[in-house]
Amino acid sequence: MKIRALITRPRAKGEQLARQIEAADGAALCCPFIDISAGSEFNKVSSLLEKLQPDDYIIAISDNAVNYANTSLINEHRTWPQRINYIAVGPTTAKCWRLHGIKNTNVPNTHDSEGVLKLLQNASVEHKNIVILRGNGGRETMAEDLIKRSANVTYCEVYQRTAPTYDPELLINKWQQFAINSVIITSGEILGNLIKTIPYTALPWILNLHFIVPSQRIAALAHKLGIEHVTIASGASNNSLFNAVKQLDMQIGIS
């Protein structure tokens, strides 16, 4: 495998993906451009969920939302409520809930806000309580649409995303010595943090690398920034990204 990838997703999953690539005789360097930690409402999960009635809704934006919420519940010696409608934005999030004992999770066909809204388009959400477990910000469109349908929507910022601080010149030197030829991006926020960090003089080099992204939306953001070589994975899971790495390695033959 000719891939020499820069992995920018949070460290735990980034290192797992790096091991997958290295096991296939590729090379990978993990350099997170987002850090995940407990959010401002981490300690409010139990009190929010105990107010839910049967047939209300909990929507989890990511596996981070589920994991941090689960830890918060454990800290309060509480469990996930029963007879609630659980919605996971994607299959990885649903799998995470299953690991914590929630088996009846609904997953939309498209793993985004629009997919969730389509999943709920025929549901009676009027006066239903809906808790959205998320990070710091995002998914406003989802809440706005549900509020228009008279749902009682509450956000719970159970985790937060922050941008790490790096020495830009040291980064570029390290990446060029490693001879990276591809960059794996899993969110628009990570892409933005990366571009903001890179020295202006190194931008032409970075923008000319091959980027792997998990969706058409992030591909469009990449193109707007001047990135020409973009491969779209089938999702943001490590397996989806690894399959895209293999596809890129076979089809393009990076040297």
Nearest-Å Rg of the Cα atoms of the chain is: 20
C-beta separation of 34 from 11 below 8 A = no
- 69-127: per-residue pLDDT in tens? 999 999 999 999 999 999 999 888 999 999 999 999 999 988 788 889 999 999 999 99
Beta-carbon contacts of 165 under 8 Å, excluding residues fewer than 6 positions away, are: none
- Among 11-15, 110-114, 203-207, 245-249, whose mean pLDDT is lowest? 110-114
pTM value is: 0.82
Helices 63-75 and 91-99 meet at what angle, rounded to 10? 20
Q: Give the model's pLDDT for residue 139.
A: 64
pLDDT category of residue 163 using cuts at 50, 70 and 90: very high
- What is the pLDDT averaged over residues 20-33? 96
Q: Give the model's pLDDT for residue 255.
A: 45
> Measured between alpha carbons, how far is 157 from 140 in angstroms, rounded to an integer?
13
C-beta separation of 68 from 89 below 8 A = no
Q: Give the model's pLDDT for residue 138.
A: 67
